[in-house]
Amino acid sequence: MEVASETILRLADDASVQHVGDGAVVLLARSGQLYTCNGTTEAFLDKVDGARSLDQIVGLLSAEFEVDKDTLDQDMAALASDLLSEGILAAPGA
């Protein structure tokens, strides 16, 4: 599933992010599945608020990590797609 840059992203209703140590875990309440996050995924999920588009999130991450936005665009689109397919993220109408 490809995620367009203007797609507004939010956490799925049954997903919660817990910060632990120097990382984070995502719990899907419905299934009880637990996912561990690396720092990049944690920073990405911290910016997902149901109001920001993928492009806006990438812009914030680019400034925070001083990384080229074009490089981040592809990586974060792939990450968002993975998180959507795992049921961690939802898009509007989902």
Where do the domains of the chain lie, and which CATH numbers do they carry? 10-87 (1.10.10.1150)
Q: What percent of the chain has pLDDT over 90?
A: 81
pLDDT tens string 29-59: 999 999 999 999 999 999 999 999 999 999 9
Could you give the CA distance from residue 16 to residue 85 in angstroms, rounded to a whole number? 16
As a whole number of angstroms, the distance between CA 44 and CA 57 comes to 7
CA 3, CA 81: separation in Å to the nearest integer?
Answer: 6
Q: Is the pLDDT of residue 94 over 60?
A: no
Q: Report the b/e string of 60-85 with b at 16+ CB within 10 A.
A: ebbeeeeeeeeebbeebbebbeebbe
